[in-house]
Structure 1
Amino acid sequence: MSAFFTQLELGPMFRALMRNKIGALLIALQIALTLTIMVNAIFMMQQRSEQMARASGLDEANTFYLSNTVFAQNYNLKTALQQDLQRIRETPGVVDATQINAIPLSGGGWSMSLQTKAGDDIEGTGTAVYMVDEHGINAMGLELIAGENFQNSDIGWREEGSTQWPPKAIITKALAETMFEGDWKNAVGKTVYIDNHQPVQVIGIIKALQAPWNGWNGVERSMLVPQQLDSKGSRFFIRTEPGRRDELMPVIEKMLAESDRGRIIRNVTSMEQTRDESYREHQATNTILLTVIIVLTLITGFGIIGLAMFSINRRTRQIGTRRALGASQWQVMRYFMLENLLISTAGVVLGAAGAVGLNIWLVSTFSMTPLSPVLLVIGVIALLIVGQLAVSYPALVASKISPATATRGRA
């Protein structure tokens, strides 16, 4: 074992590093900074990617929606709404349609607080509210996993300015788990209270339906209520047969526009497009973070190359002497690669501490989940590999210095 360490010449290596300690320190700090930023940047990218991958609960590939804005006077909103929905539902290729007050992941909608007990001083649970008729679940492609759907007799009209809520509701599994301490099946048949005192019976539970706000920590908590809006501005949510959405979007838009000149049909949008727009900032942030990681890694790699080349130029005679004394090209290469490994190890140790410290701050400031130790280990290994790859070319250059040329070179 002692012969092995003698062969590696760790003593001369440490002395050489101490003679150029400023350069070695700078590279170690660069590696530490790169690891600190890289690990936490990847961590934040993972967080955003997980958010973007969350299931909305909708049949996104086959659903779209449009806005219906009435401007005509003496317009019978209730009759026109039922006629519009009937026309849409009878269109070949349409699975179902419903009027809705808000669109998941769109950024704008309704929210209320639900309580398990009535009272002004009882803490409630926030939930997004979607107003639909008995076709809502089928039109949105939701999965009813417990209880029952609304009946036609349950559907009421909500006048503008009304604060009254219907006596029945369907909630998501996530909302049921939050309100009933994980026992979501127990929510069916229970009475909850909206607006502090109004009782609402939970008649069904759907597997998932996201709220309109993707950054909300309660994005999985949603509630369906059996109401239709008596309003001049409303939206229709439409589900088509698989593969026919893009074909039917202009067809239904034209059909509705031509059937009644007293309103405007606009903003025909697919749910896939809505998802893309909702997470556009997430995508842009991930692109920026990836660019930062690549740039920092390249800067670190070039810094290692620069330090190694500088060290080789300063120690040309020393390298030549080693070669004249019988050192092989591989031994010379190994020397510089081990020297870089020592610098990189010091850097990743500092960087690991910095990464953990930065993550603690991110978790406490932005309520993020803690950094995975696996990610930190991967970051350490990745930077050590980058260091070895970066120094391999200078080490190869050093190994090819001939003894004769080296002894005529500079000290």
Structure 2
Amino acid sequence: MNEQKERSFFAENWEVGPILRALLRNKVGAILIALQIAFTMTIVVNAIYIIHERSEKMKRPSGIDEANSFYLSSVGFTNDFNTLVTIKEDLNLIRSLEGVVDAIQINAVPMSNSGWSMGLQTQPGAEFDGTGSAVYMVDEHALNTLDVALVAGENFSATDIQTRVASQNHWPDKVIITLAMANRLFPDDGLGALGKTVYINDIEPMIITGIIDKLQAPWVGWDNVENVMLTPEIRDAETSRYFIRTKPGQRDRIMTEVESLLAKSNTGRILRDMRSIDETRVRAYRDNSAMIRILVTVMVILVIVTGLGIVGLASFSVNQRKKQIGTRRALGASQQAIVRYFMLENLLISTVGVVLGAMLTVGLNIVLVDAFSLDPITWYYIPLGMLALWVVGQLAVYGPAKKAANIPPALATRSA
């Protein structure tokens, strides 16, 4: 007889009808938990996708030898300060140091969030739109210093290098561009851009004499971050920025030596803003890092709060149903049957929550895509989010379910 009653109770625990009727008697709590699960899923799934997108963005290769490179600025302040002579002397001194691979003067640095940009177009005339490009003004040592590789064409020669003064607005007639830039200018044949003429300032011609594999612009938030051009120029300005590449493991030592030697070699200037590329990357992406930390914190808090809410509802349900649980235990229901009942009840509540959450997740992602130009969420994030919330719900309800299953039948009957 007891065995038959236990089988009857076991069967009842796998019927949705009795559980739904029980939930309807406490529908406010169930609705609140379902909404909480939906809200948590909406925020967590979109947050995880944003974290992934930001993390991938932060790992983008800049194209340069980051681990072994640094830069600093030299600022002349005396009336007789000779910029061009100082640049030549400084570069010769830096390049002669043991452990230095090469060095250049450069107007901007990848990932520094400060630099020059111009537009290049394949046809002359103001009526044609240009393609935006970062501009690095360099000499013939640039490819070796930056550690970028030519995929087509040739490097600048020493005779190509021009002097750019502050008021100058015309450009050299040669240019080296990245492969990404070549593909933007000539979508049908990027490598075929070699030798072709492009135009800067609407009508000023430049011949593409080289194409390099990869180099990032200074602005990490720019969508066209790999659109880069190198022009053969030395800047005649009071402030000169030197970019130095060292042999592996020598960077920190060379940084100290360069600063000391340059300070002694010319007292008519000051040195400032010495920074490694590793540090520059950290500074460039610190907003993204901060966002990731904030989103992770929010996600953890939401999941904990949701889990506590499920525990609270289940515990309340157990206390409300002590008489029913005790009666069923007295009639022979096993502890496993009691646990299954509450686990299935939570699964139904969680299912309503995650289905609603899936719809809200898509809606929020559409808003984020429009507002922040993000890519649409990848489809599999939604079922993975649903599965994760189901698991959280089952883990959260297990404790109260075990507590219910451990209620002694006799004690429950006396407390009725």
Q: Give TM class, smaller chain.
A: over 0.9
- Structure 2 partner of 1:302: 308
Deviations 1:236-293 (A, max 9, x none): 0000001100111010110011011111112111000000000011000000000000
Conserved 8 A contact 1:330-1:399: yes
CA distance 1:385–1:34, change in 2 (3 Å) = same
Deviations 1:213-233 (A, max 9, x none): 111111111111000000111
1:5 CA displacement? 5.4
> Is it true that 1:94 corresponds to 2:103 in the alignment?
no
- Structure 1 partner of 2:245: 239
Conserved 8 A contact 2:40-2:303: yes
- Structure 2 partner of 1:379: 385
Conserved 8 A contact 2:10-2:337: no
Conserved 8 A contact 1:176-1:182: no
CA distance 1:333–1:87, change in 2 (3 Å) = same
- Structure 1 partner of 2:155: 149
2:270 alignment partner, one of 243, 260, 264: 264
Distance in structure 2 (CA, Å) of the matches to 1:221 and 1:240: 26
Bigger mean CA offset, 156-165 vs 356-365: 356-365
- Structure 2 partner of 1:160: 166
CA distance 1:223–1:163, change in 2 (3 Å) = same
> Residue 373 of structure 2 aligns to which amino acid in structure 1?
S
1:3 CA displacement? 11
2:124 alignment partner, one of 113, 118, 134: 118
CA distance 1:340–1:7, change in 2 (3 Å) = closer
CA distance 1:191–1:85, change in 2 (3 Å) = same
> Residue 378 of structure 2 aligns to which amino acid in structure 1?
S
1:4 CA displacement? 7.9
Conserved 8 A contact 2:71-2:244: yes
Distance in structure 1 (CA, Å) of the matches to 2:188 and 2:228: 16
- Structure 2 partner of 1:362: 368
Conserved 8 A contact 2:99-2:246: yes
1:365 CA displacement? 2.0
> Residue 89 of structure 1 aligns to which amino acid in structure 2?
R
> Is it true that 1:321 corresponds to 2:313 in the alignment?
no
Distance in structure 2 (CA, Å) of the matches to 1:16 and 1:61: 63
CA distance 1:195–1:26, change in 2 (3 Å) = same
Structure 2's unaligned 5+ residue stretches are 1-7
Q: TM-score, normalised by structure 1?
A: 0.98
Deviations 1:32-56 (A, max 9, x none): 0000000111111111111101000
> Residue 268 of structure 2 aligns to which amino acid in structure 1?
G
> Residue 288 of structure 1 aligns to which amino acid in structure 2?
I
- Structure 1 partner of 2:349: 343
CA distance 1:330–1:133, change in 2 (3 Å) = same
- Root-mean-square deviation (Å): 1.3
> Is it true that 1:273 corresponds to 2:273 in the alignment?
no
1:171 alignment partner, one of 156, 172, 177: 177
1:17 CA displacement? 0.2
Distance in structure 1 (CA, Å) of the matches to 2:69 and 2:147: 8
Conserved 8 A contact 1:116-1:191: yes
> Residue 308 of structure 1 aligns to which amino acid in structure 2?
A
- How many residues align? The count is 409
Distance in structure 1 (CA, Å) of the matches to 2:175 and 2:245: 22
- Structure 2 partner of 1:70: 76
- Structure 2 partner of 1:12: 18
> Is it true that 1:39 corresponds to 2:24 in the alignment?
no
Bigger mean CA offset, 357-366 vs 74-83: 74-83
1:11 CA displacement? 2.2
1:187 CA displacement? 1.1
SS in 2 for 1:344: helix
Q: TM-score, normalised by structure 2?
A: 0.96
Distance in structure 2 (CA, Å) of the matches to 1:50 and 1:191: 35
Structure 1's unaligned 5+ residue stretches are none
CA distance 1:57–1:186, change in 2 (3 Å) = same
